[in-house]
Structure 1
Amino acid sequence: MFGPFSIDTIFPAFPQMGAQLGADKLAMQQTISVYLLTYAAMSLVHGPLSDALGRKRVIFAGLFVFMLASIGCALAQDMGTLLLFRALQGLSAGVGFIVGRAVIRDVFHGDDAQRLMSQVSMIFGIAPAIAPIIGGWLLGWGRWPLIFWFLAGFSLLLLASITLWLPETHPPAARMKVAPAHLLRDYFSIALNPRFQRLALAGSLNFGGIFLYIASAPAFVLDLLRLNEQQFAWLFLPTIGGMTLGAFLSGKAAGRVSGTRLSALGFAFMGAGVALNVGYNALADAPAVPWAVLPMSLLAFGVALIFPILTLSILDMYPRQRGAASSLQAFSNLLVNAIIAGLLSPLLSHHGLHLALASGAFTLLGWLFWRWEMRVSRREPRCAKDAPAMEPTDQL
């Protein structure tokens, strides 16, 4: 939770931070993009390290570095120092989400794995949704450094929880040696696999439709909707509701509804959300609550239905390299998010219709990659598509 949670806890503080540090809105947006870029780069390392050193050790080290980086952000007196420690936060923040998924697949299989991964999907969606709300509350009690002190305390609490209650799920007998040449070979093998590319891009692009609004939240909430720093809930509560309901139904459907049918249902809901969003913004003079934010529920609901299925399909392709596969999938998702936060959001967040059209384009692209995988999977036997080391999966 703490990786995505840290992305946008600071959104409500953008005006206050910009005024104190002498940074304009574009410069403040880079506190998100630099975090995501280092998050994406290090995501390629977290998984293989956990394959070699064990899951618990890597998660613990990442949490400790994140706590120190959060303290550095709280003490920053200029924009350069803040960006430096935000980058350090990004370098360490991926351990929870990336290694955590490998932990789930170490312990659970089949329908049980889908049920638990659905809960992860719900937590992953809730984290960036409640973060700006908490950030707004904290601003009511103090100035912006309080947000980073909160993140430091949050990571300390997680460190204690990991120490006391998380078992090691990757025993020494199953671990792989840290060999850069072998790691690069594994990454090239995974990244060049056409099936991995289709599944990873389907997931990254369909989540991108929601993340565009998350990354644009300061401009969307404060400038377009003309709300204040304590009213970010108007954007994020519909997202929380849709994500929670979708994750709940995905877990309940495990073993009862096929992955193909559930994915099709998820994309159908996302398509309905895109149509409502574009239609409203094309007709409205100016976006306003609640109609400008209700389509987020449908988008989030669809993402939560699809996420566990796509993720398990990728992890099951590489039973002995789940950490590496999880890392590369996360890298794909984070790279798309970094492009959205650093490039697209500053360009599009000044107009509601521009945001709606771009969000719809991401959803459409995600659906096209998913349809491509469906066509290929019907034409070719799974064993012919995957390398000999891979195990087949019936999730799609």
Structure 2
Amino acid sequence: MPSNPPPIPLRRLALLLGGLAMFGPFSIDTIFPAFPEMGAALGADKLAMQQTISVYLIAYALMSVVHGPLSDAIGRRRVILGGLGVFTLATVGCALSTDLGTLLAFRALQGLSAGVGLIVGRAVIRDVLQGDDAQRLMSQVSMIFGIAPAIAPVIGGWILGWSHWPMIFWFLVAFSAALLLATWRALPETHPPAERLAPRPRELLRGYAGIFLNPRFQRLAAAGTFNFGALFLYIASAPAFVLDILGLGQDAFAWFFVPMIGGMMVGAWTSGRIAGRVSGTAQTRLGFACCGVAVAANLLYNLLVDQPAVPWAVLPMMLNAFGVALVFPILTLAILDMYPRQRGSASSLQAFTSLVFNAVIAGVLSPLLSDHPVWLASGAVLFAFLGWAIWHWEMRSGPRMPPGDPEYAAALEPTERL
């Protein structure tokens, strides 16, 4: 079946959706260099400052189950515009905060609204394209999205060089306001009224239960969540990893983020280039292999040296990110293809699964493991192995077609498609 004609040129759509996906990571990574200054100004220690991430992610995860089905009911455009408006106001509150409690409250409000770009954006991609075309567009969006974690801490460090930490949040206010204007002017509605679902809470809960209890959804979502968790453990631990373990300054976060995001962007570019030429199964297998080699090499390096140092301490992150970028679009499209009338809901639940786990990593595991490089490396090995093992289980249990291919959804039982 051919793809639907895109409502706007694909390059413009990729740029817009990539920008919408960026403001969530910007909210996390831009403030990393400011942790010491913020902690001193707000009277908060290292563990308390880590809660500015976990509170944000918990709120993000809780609201993520609403963004998707709300866009299924009232349209993608309205939900994205509303989320951007709330996020902009919440960020103003963060900039004006004078104590940790107030900052955490506005960080939670940021998290409640920040998911619209990424979650609803995935549904937009699948609204207008399918199969290999959807994989190519999702890879392009991933490349643009991947810039955010690389440049966000660098921008944060630059801002701290000439101003104080609230200016970082004022930068985020300007960025989100620009996105709001661009979305209002350029993004058309991709989910027409005739295809929308009535926003009835009972039916919504029934649909969520059907998706969440589907063993195939559980396996695909868990495989992607654990695989990315190996990388996110280091992202959440970036202040301790860069400042304490590597002994670098607050303006040196690029040593960690640039190689990592470079690997992710190259992986996304590769995924787009091989779409239609290499099967989804083969691409996913290659991605997991890259992740396995990366985390094993990282653990070995940290066992052999007394003091990790750049560039060797960060090169495994590049390979790990490359593998994650190969795996992500295949697993995501497989989930969306399972529920053609509930793409928003399926995207929300996939994001919810990942975000809850990431919140646990940021709020619990990162503070426990970030004191020693071997502990961090061991945690990454465990997560990468679990991701591969669950994906292998899915390949043995599910249809024999590769996830993400158009035939995958057709092979599902009608009761699984809802």
Fold match by TM threshold 0.5: yes
CA contact (8 A) 1:6 1:128 kept: no
- When residues 161 and 370 of structure 1 are mapped into structure 2, their CA distance, relative to the original with a 3 A threshold, is same
- Letter aligned with residue 76 of structure 2: R
Q: Which residue of 2 aligns with 1:64?
A: 85
Aligned match for 2:65, one of 44, 63, 68: 44
Work out the percentage of aligned pairs sharing the same amino acid.
69
Q: Which residue of 2 aligns with 1:266?
A: 287
**For 1:274 and 1:156, how far apart are their aligned partners in 2?**
39
**For 1:244 and 1:362, how far apart are their aligned partners in 2?**
22
Q: Which residue of 2 aligns with 1:320?
A: 341
For structure 1, which segment, 129-138 or 221-230, has the greater mean C-alpha deviation from structure 2 after superposition?
Answer: 129-138
Given the two structures, how large is their TM-score scaled by the length of structure 2?
A: 0.91
Query: Offset at 1:382?
Result: 7.2
Q: Does 1:336 align with 2:357?
A: yes
Q: Does 1:251 align with 2:272?
A: yes
CA contact (8 A) 1:46 1:98 kept: yes
CA contact (8 A) 1:40 1:335 kept: yes
Q: Does 1:181 align with 2:208?
A: no
**For 1:95 and 1:319, how far apart are their aligned partners in 2?**
19
CA contact (8 A) 2:337 2:409 kept: no
Query: Offset at 1:177?
Result: 1.0
**For 2:399 and 2:413, how far apart are their aligned partners in 1?**
14
**For 1:362 and 1:385, how far apart are their aligned partners in 2?**
28
CA contact (8 A) 1:121 1:307 kept: no
Q: Which residue of 1 aligns with 2:149?
A: 128
- Which ranges of structure 2 fall in alignment gaps of 5 or more residues? 1-21, 402-407
**For 2:415 and 2:302, how far apart are their aligned partners in 1?**
50
Q: Does 1:390 align with 2:417?
A: yes
Query: Offset at 1:385?
Result: 5.2
Q: State the aligned residue count.
A: 391
**For 2:270 and 2:129, how far apart are their aligned partners in 1?**
19
Query: Offset at 1:378?
Result: 5.5
Q: Which residue of 1 aligns with 2:374?
A: 353
**For 2:127 and 2:141, how far apart are their aligned partners in 1?**
15
**For 1:206 and 1:191, how far apart are their aligned partners in 2?**
19
For structure 1, which segment, 62-71 or 131-140, has the greater mean C-alpha deviation from structure 2 after superposition?
Answer: 131-140
CA contact (8 A) 1:125 1:239 kept: no
Give 1:80-229 correspondences, 5 Å limit.
Answer: 80-229=101-250
SS in 1 for 2:340: coil
Which 4+ residue blocks in structure 1 deviate beyond 3 angstroms? 378-389
- Letter aligned with residue 230 of structure 1: D
**For 2:142 and 2:231, how far apart are their aligned partners in 1?**
14
CA contact (8 A) 1:65 1:89 kept: yes
- Letter aligned with residue 51 of structure 1: D
Query: Offset at 1:7?
Result: 1.3
Query: Offset at 1:122?
Result: 2.3
Aligned match for 1:242, one of 253, 263, 275: 263
Query: Offset at 1:377?
Result: 2.3
List per-residue Cα deviations over 1:282-309 (Å, max 9, x = no partner). 0000111111101001000000001000
Query: Offset at 1:119?
Result: 1.7
SS in 1 for 2:307: coil
For structure 1, which segment, 111-120 or 23-32, has the greater mean C-alpha deviation from structure 2 after superposition?
Answer: 111-120
- Letter aligned with residue 175 of structure 2: F
- When residues 353 and 167 of structure 1 are mapped into structure 2, their CA distance, relative to the original with a 3 A threshold, is same
- When residues 383 and 244 of structure 1 are mapped into structure 2, their CA distance, relative to the original with a 3 A threshold, is closer
**For 2:413 and 2:152, how far apart are their aligned partners in 1?**
39
Query: Offset at 1:384?
Result: 7.4
- Letter aligned with residue 192 of structure 1: L
- Letter aligned with residue 119 of structure 2: I
SS in 2 for 1:105: helix
SS in 1 for 2:398: helix
Q: Which residue of 2 aligns with 1:291?
A: 312
- Which ranges of structure 1 fall in alignment gaps of 5 or more residues? 392-396
**For 1:94 and 1:128, how far apart are their aligned partners in 2?**
16
- When residues 384 and 122 of structure 1 are mapped into structure 2, their CA distance, relative to the original with a 3 A threshold, is closer
Query: Offset at 1:379?
Result: 7.3
CA contact (8 A) 1:51 1:175 kept: yes
